[in-house]
Chains A and B, each alone.
Chain A
Amino acid sequence: MLISSHLDHRGRHRVAITGLGVMSPAGNDLATFWSRLNSGESCAKRIERFDPSELTVQIGCEVPDFDVSAYVTPKEARRLDRVSILGFAAAADALADANAHGTPIEADPSRCGIIAGVGIGGLITLEEQIGVMIEKGPNRVSPFLVPMMMTNATPALVSLQFGWTGPNIAVATACAAGTNAIGDAANLIRYGESDVAIGMGAESCMTPVAISAFGRMTALSGRTDDPSRASRPFDEGRDGFVMGEGAGALILERWDLAVARGARIYGEIVGYGRNSDSHHITAPSPGGAGAAACIELALQDAAIAANAIGHVNAHGTSTPLNDAAEAEAVTKVFGPRAVPVTSTKGITGHLIGAAGAVEAVAAVLSMAKQQVPPTANLDQVDPAFELDVVAGATRAIPSACALSNSFGFGGHNASLIVSPAQ
């Protein structure tokens, strides 16, 4: 890697990470988020946004104390689903974070791109309006339903609010969407299409139907009576994930332009891998073959060896199948217990399309601080796994690259590698 150059080993523009934003069950600012990740205390509890009494699964990880009025007007809020407001809030905070250091970004709006990972979209609104249709008839269905529920409503809102007129794309690769979005945003910069790009993810689909549907798949933890211990990635006793909601965003800038304006650079996106299992609509491929190939693609993209990775922020959903496949994939690429692995989902639950983005923020912070947060609720690593799972307490690590994985229903795999700023 030509670290002194503004171009990478393939002659592409290097990608600086200059701003971070999160709206999450673990906190709506970076300091609170980081502190909660290291506390070992899961955010899962009984769902409060609606009465879950009739549901089999009644727990989730909601974003607490989200001040909608700090980001949009009351009129705007009326025509936006919660997913879009959460997404825009994370994006706005990330941009403010980027502009807090150096000369503020002054880019041509047509050279500013938005890629947002959204697994589902405005499901809360859709369910409400289906209720209206049934109760009051078709002529009472809201004219705002379509612009509120569409998967691309989140990046559309960011574009409207920022005045950015470059590429504006929603990525819908289920639980891999957030990571795909950041990788795709990095590619906008690498290949010269944009000077500034936001890579982000947003999701808020904690509704009675969605909870029931994921529950019927047996994807959700059944520990409704013990919510704080329900999300337990890589633990022997894991029994499913806990649904979360939230958003994460990264401001990415062309390296030379970020340096020229004196930006604070958290790190660099150096590797991005994406592929498809082509195995089953929901189950991972046997032995984590697709995931392992995806990680290898990211390493090749970065032109680094596996031992250059200092820690892995795993997808680690706490489902029996995902964690087994990912454990095999990581061991296949890195060797047995060769790299520290953590999953933030023990704390945050599973943020679906936002997961990869929020976890990328966690991975960047971990890399920059050289501290890996523990995986919550890890009492006993599944004995079938040859993994070094960080648990119990935060672990100090040397300065090194970090890998963040996301895998989605549909067989979508995405891996991102970030490098310390140098």
Chain B
Amino acid sequence: MDRSHALEAVREVATEVLSVEADQIVESARFKEDLDADSLDLVELVMGLEERFDIQVPEEDLDGVTTIGHAVDLVLSKLS
């Protein structure tokens, strides 16, 4: 999967879980500051990504994941 496809899939999950508009989901968007997502939202988002991509994301892998771009990196690393 290339990066643009991964971003598009992350966008689909994030718009639903975070109740934000699709155009807000860009690589630079910060979860807390730009998307009003708290720690529980992020847990739900990761659950959504795990289902969407059929991957497992252990809690320790979430350290430092603060933007949509980081989430795309995480997904791609799990798929590779």
Contacts and interface: CB of A to CB of B under 8 A. Distances in A.
A75 B44 contact: no
Interface in B11-62: 18-19, 36, 40, 43-44, 47, 50-51
A394 B43 CA distance: 54
Interface residues of B, number: 9
Nearest to B36: A75
**Dominant secondary structure of chain A at its interface with chain B:** helix
A73 B40 CA distance: 17
A142 interface: yes
A147 B44 CA distance: 14
Given A74-B19, A75-B18, A139 B47 contact: yes
A78 B50 CA distance: 19
A81 to B, nearest CB: 15
A143 B44 contact: yes
A140 B40 CA distance: 13
A142 B47 CA distance: 8
Contacts of B18: 75
Interface in A44-94: 73-75, 78-79
Contacts of B47: 139-140, 142-143
A141 B47 CA distance: 9
Contact of B40 (A74, A139, A144): A144
A73 B47 CA distance: 22
Nearest to A146: B40
Interface in A277-305: none
A140 to B, nearest CB: 6
Contacts of B40: 79, 143-144, 147
A408 B28 CA distance: 54
B74 to A, nearest CB: 16
Q: Which 6 A-B pairs have the closest CB atoms?
A: A75-B19, A143-B43, A143-B40, A74-B19, A143-B44, A144-B40
13 contacts: A73-B19, A75-B18, A75-B19, A78-B19, A79-B40, A139-B50, A140-B47, A140-B51, A143-B40, A143-B43, A143-B47, A144-B44, A147-B40
Given A75-B19, A78-B19, 8 more contacts: A73-B19, A75-B36, A139-B47, A140-B47, A140-B51, A142-B47, A143-B40, A144-B44
